[in-house]
Every structure is written in C-alpha cells, then in structure tokens.
C-alpha cells in the first residue's frame, strides 16, 4: 500500500501572500490554454484579440460558474444559512459542471458578439479543456481532498490518507488526472485534427467526460454533506448523465445550417 505524502498546499508564501498549489494549477491551465488557442486561431479565422476576449470570458465562466455550481449543486443549505461564505472561494468549493455551464455561456456570448457559429467556437475551445481538468485534479491530490472509497488492501496502488483515516483507499484524484486529463486530451486532440462538422468535437468531449466521470464516481468517496442520491448515484453521476446524452446527440445529429463547415485540420 502507498501512503499519501502529505504536501503543503501552499506553493509560495511571501509575507502575508500565500499562493496555493490548487490556484497555481488553475493559472498554469489558463496560460497553457491561451497559448494553444493563439497558435490554433486560424482554425476559425479569429484574430489574437478575439482569442484574448474568448479566453477572458471563459476564465470568468470557469470561476463564477464553478463557484455558483458548487453552491447550488453541493452545499445549498449551508450557503443559504451563511450567504457571505459564498464569496470565500479561498476556502475551496468548485464544481466542474457549474464551470462548464459558465464556459458554455461565455462561448455563446463570444459567438454572438463576433458573429460566429456557436458550435464552431465550442469545437475550437474544446481540445484545451482537458488540460485544465487534469491540472485541477492534480491540485485536488496535492490538497489531499476528494479522496477515494475504501479499496482492497492488496491493490498495489491503494493509498492511505492519514489525515482522513487508516483505511486503504482508491487514489481517485489520480484516476481523474489520467482519464479526464491525459486520456481525454489525447482522444479529443487526435479527433479534432481532422475536419468535423461543427459540434462533433464538443460532443465527443461531453460524451467521454460524462462516461469517465460517471465511472470514477464509483471509486470516489461521495460528498459527505450529500452522500448518495436516488438509485445510489452520487451528485457527480447525476450531473454527468445529461452530458452523456447531449454528447451522443451532437455526435449523431444530422448536419444543419450551423454545422455546414468544419473549422479546419492539421
């Protein structure tokens, strides 16, 4: 069995200013995503300033949507009783599904502002999303949070999280780094290299993320304030089911006028 190597969540501390690893992961993801989008902007024929606008809107969507999603989906009763705590983002609490909704709204705003097909913009953005997912889950592991369910002690990579208990557990954060980060990035990136009808790349992302997240939830400990919900599913599983359905529909839907042109190929 492995033992979780308790890691200081603070990466850099200068006087009263502390930079946490989790926040640093977000910053690295945003920078990498911006660099890649700038290099790929010819895919939909946008300029450097337009990419800046899209990146900034998506950052707002991730942060605001992720926080609001956590409040609404995971801990609404607490925040209704402590409304000012909603602003305490430094205490943690972000939801991927809320962040996704925020990014979708940002893409819709950008597409309408710049008169571009919404699905084409979504396909342009999608290949960089797994980078943020993988780095975010790595930040969860560094923080020693979102640990897994109890595992067979014979499992070679079963891990004890001493700050939780002495029970061998699945390192579910690492499962998500590999699936939602590495595997999803490779598959979506390769798929996006060839011309596709608008919406196909985004659809593949939705489908695969939903499947990966639904499966990993069986190895991840449920949120203590929620536990399991109807049918024994966790909140993460229930929120992932619409993604699977929407992704499958985008992949098989017949082309429409908004999907008439793919955004390019390598």
Annotated binding site: 137
CB–CB of 219/174 below 8 Å? no
Residue 16 in tokens: 């009263």
Tell me how far apart the 2 most distant CA atoms of the chain are, in Å: 58
> 135 is written with which tokens?
């780095």
Q: Which residues contact 214 (CB under 8 A, 6 or more apart)?
A: 236, 237, 240, 241, 244
CA dist., res. 146 & res. 74, Å (int) = 13
Distance from C-alpha of 99 to C-alpha of 207, rounded to nearest angstrom: 17
Instruction: Give the containing element (helix H, strand E) for 66.
Output: helix 48-74
3-state secondary structure 163-208: CCCCCEECCHHHHHHHHHHHHHHHHHHHHHCCCCCCCHHHHHHHHH
């Amino acid at each position: 069995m492995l033992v979780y190597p308790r890691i200081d969540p603070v990466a850099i501390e200068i006087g009263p200013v502390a930079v946490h690893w989790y926040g640093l992961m977000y910053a690295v993801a945003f920078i990498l995503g911006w660099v890649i989008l700038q290099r790929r902007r010819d895919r939909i024929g946008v300029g450097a300033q337009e990419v800046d606008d899209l990146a900034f809107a998506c950052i707002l969507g991730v942060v605001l949507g992720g926080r609001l999603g956590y409040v609404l989906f995971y801990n609404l009763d607490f925040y209704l009783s402590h409304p000012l705590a909603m602003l305490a983002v430094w205490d943690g609490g972000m939801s991927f599904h809320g962040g996704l909704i925020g990014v979708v709204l940002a893409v819709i705003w950008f597409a309408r502002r710049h008169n571009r097909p919404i699905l084409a913009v979504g396909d342009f953005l999608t290949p960089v999303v797994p980078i943020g997912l993988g780095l975010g889950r790595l930040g969860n592991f560094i923080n020693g949070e979102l640990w897994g369910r109890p595992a067979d002690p014979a499992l070679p990579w079963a891990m004890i999280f001493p700050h939780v208990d002495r029970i061998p557990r699945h390192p579910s954060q690492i499962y998500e780094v590999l699936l939602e980060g590495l595997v999803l990035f490779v598959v979506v990136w390769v798929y996006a290299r060839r011309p596709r009808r608008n919406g196909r790349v985004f659809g593949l992302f939705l489908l695969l993320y939903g499947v990966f997240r639904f499966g990993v939830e069986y190895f991840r400990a449920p949120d203590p304030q929620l536990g399991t919900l109807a049918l024994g599913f966790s909140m993460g599983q229930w929120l992932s089911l619409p993604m699977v359905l929407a992704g499958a529909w985008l992949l098989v839907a017949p082309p429409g006028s908004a999907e008439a042109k793919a955004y390019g190929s390598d």
